[in-house]
Amino acid sequence: MAPANEEEEVRLLGKWPSPFSNRVVLALKLKGVEYKYSEENLANKSDDLLKYNPVYKKVPVLVHNGNPIAESLVILEYIDDTWTNNSFLSQDPYERALARFWSKTLDDKILPAIWNACWSDEKGREKAVEEALEALNILENEIKDKKFFGGETIGLVDIAANFIGYWVEILQEIAGLELLTVEKFPKVFKWSQEFINHPVIKEGLPPRDELFAFFKASASKK
Amino acid sequence: MATNDLKLLSTPSSPFALRVKIALNIKGLDYDNIVETMNPKSDLLLQSNPVYKKIPVLIHGDKPISESAIIVEYIDEVWKNNGTPILPSNAYDCAIARFWVAYIDDKWYNSSRNHLVAQNEESKKANFDQMEEVLLRLEDVLNKYSEGKEFFGGDKIGFLDIGFGSYLSWLRVTEKMIGKKVLDETKTPALVKWAEAFVAHPAVKGNLPEIDKLLEFAKGLVQRMAAAACPK
């Protein structure tokens, strides 16, 4: 356990349904770091959010001893550098480069493709679904027979792929799509089960029924 | 054959490939520069970067690494005892540098590219305004983090210097194309001085594309995009 000492303050400004915000929750839990959490209402942004992330005004923002860091992948590396127990990045430069590459590819290519498919209208649906399946195929080829993307233990890419492990199942159900299934992507599917059943990860993910209700409500507003 | 067995797949006009060249120069590393025509893409490129099929790719022995910022970090970590450090030594300063490079690759890259290929005045202006906002923010960052020294990294060029400096040649091309300053000493004086120091740095100069050639390349690109945008 690495508790915050009296002088040390760790704060997270987040939004519970956001996978990006959740990444930071998972990382802090994996490190056993105590932190204060503030739920942000993005329709009514707090003064703190505007102060700590003036560039994007978005969550998550980690504030460590008054020093703010924004952008979830940047925050994850900062957490791994600062609290050195239970590393989620290898010391080997090539392994680190690969982990960074896959985390960035998740954000730049894979997550957007799947998100778009889940929110697509009739017109764009076919193409969006095709792209989402291509994106999942890229991951299927990458996970191979590893337990986690990080190997035997949870790594940076696993944390970054929380959306794939947990959110996709919910969003695809709401959208009436079959994107990530055991038949289509057996390896990614197997990984998702390892991920959500990991003892620390399990405690850090938001409750399924609440997450479902949240996105279902968003879907019906469209 | 380069002694470290380093190959770089690049093009002369790419700011991203330039980042890698600068990092390799800082570390004093020899490498084989393989210029890709991109049309068609070589087998080596397709094998080395199957996800994006883009340059730059650094191939170290048999290990390919893609994405310029990631390649620069790799170089800094493997050759940490060569030359000078590129990333700062403390975790918070690293986070700040990474944040700003990601910001530049989002806001500057998109607005400067969209400005170049914009088909109407409204779009051109909106993108130019975004470019100005980026420059004003970077002016603040430079004033805050350089502590009065030449570069974002202090005395030596660092991750953020390379991150933004690699776009300077294209910035000059934009200035020529619109006949107006983008980097303006009345608005961002520190950044103007920084730019002069950056392009004169030994690890940088000699690697910059010739502005006139880049201008021709840019004009060709704009023409092709305009033709593609025209209704058939």
pLDDT digits 0-9 by tens, A157-198: 999 999 999 999 999 999 999 999 999 999 999 999 999 999
Mark yes or no for CB contact A55/B103 under 8 Å: yes
Min Cα separation A194/chain B (Å): 25
- Strand A67-70 to strand B32-35: parallel, antiparallel, or no bridges (unpaired)? unpaired
For residue B191, the one-letter residue type is L
Q: Cβ atoms within 10 A of the Cβ of B136, count?
A: 13
Distinct helix (H) and strand (E) counts, chain A: 12, 4
Angle at CA A140, nearest 5°, toward A136 and A143? 130
Omega prior to B56 cis, within 30 of 0? yes
Nearest CA-CA partner of A162 in A78, A61, A80, A72: A72
- Is residue B189 within 8 Å of residue B146, measured between CB atoms? no
Q: Can you tell me the distance from the alpha carbon of A23 to that of A88, in angstroms, rounded to the nearest whole number? A: 12
pLDDT at A207 over 70: yes
Query: Residues of B with CB below 8 A from A105's CB?
Result: 51-52
Mark yes or no for CB contact B70/A101 under 8 Å: yes
| Residue B229 pLDDT | 73
For residue A123, the one-letter residue type is K
For residue B143, what is the DSSP state? H
For residue B86, the one-letter residue type is I
Give every strand in the sheet of A67-70, ordered side by side: A36-39, A10-14, A61-64, A67-70
| Residue B231 pLDDT | 63
Question: What is the helix (H) or strand (E) element at residue A116, kind and residue range?
Answer: helix A111-119
Mark yes or no for CB contact A96/B103 under 8 Å: no
Min Cα separation B41/chain A (Å): 20
Reduced to 3 states, what is the DSSP secondary structure of residue B135? helix
B77 close contact with A: CB closer than 8 A? yes
Helix, strand, coil % over all residues of chain A, rounded to 5 = 60, 10, 30
Mark yes or no for CB contact A55/B91 under 8 Å: no
Nearest by CB: B51 against A67, A78, A105: A105
By percentage, how much of chain A surpasses pLDDT 90?
Answer: 92
Mean pLDDT within A24-40? 98
pLDDT at A42 over 70: yes
Query: Residues of B with CB below 8 A from A71's CB?
Result: 98-99, 102
Q: Provide the whole-model pTM.
A: 0.95
Reduced to 3 states, what is the DSSP secondary structure of residue B84? coil
Token output for B193: 């001085």
Mark yes or no for CB contact B95/A75 under 8 Å: yes
| Residue B224 pLDDT | 87
Q: What radius of gyration do chain B's Cα atoms show?
A: 18
| Residue B1 pLDDT | 46
- Is residue B50 within 8 Å of residue B56, measured between CB atoms? no
The helix-helix angle for B109-117 and B121-145 (nearest 10°) equals 150
Q: Can you tell me the distance from the alpha carbon of B82 to that of B211, in angstroms, rounded to the nearest whole number? A: 31
For residue A9, what is the DSSP state? -
Question: What is the helix (H) or strand (E) element at residue B222, kind and residue range?
Answer: helix B211-229
| Residue A24 pLDDT | 98
Reduced to 3 states, what is the DSSP secondary structure of residue B7? strand
Token output for B46: 């397709």
Q: Can you tell me the distance from the alpha carbon of B176 to that of B211, in angstroms, rounded to the nearest whole number? A: 9
Q: Can you tell me the distance from the alpha carbon of A172 to that of A180, in angstroms, rounded to the nearest whole number? A: 8
Give every strand in the sheet of B32-35, ordered side by side: B32-35, B6-10, B57-60, B63-66
Beta partners for B57? B9, B66
In the 3-class helix/strand/coil scheme, how is A42-99 assigned residue by residue? Answer: CCCCCHHHHHHCCCCCCCCEEEECCEEEECHHHHHHHHHHHCCCCCCCCCCHHHHHHH
Q: Per-block average pLDDT, block size 10, for chain B (232 residues)?
A: 83 97 98 95 96 97 98 98 96 98 98 92 96 98 92 95 98 95 97 98 96 94 83 60
Q: Can you tell me the distance from the alpha carbon of B220 to that of B75, in angstroms, rounded to the nearest whole number? A: 33
| Residue B225 pLDDT | 83
Contacts 24+ apart (CB under 8 A), A107-110: A107/A73, A107/A160, A109/A135, A109/A138, A109/B51, A109/B52, A110/A135, A110/A136, A110/A138, A110/A139, A110/A164
A8: pLDDT confidence band, cut at 50, 70 and 90? Answer: confident
Min Cα separation B99/chain A (Å): 6
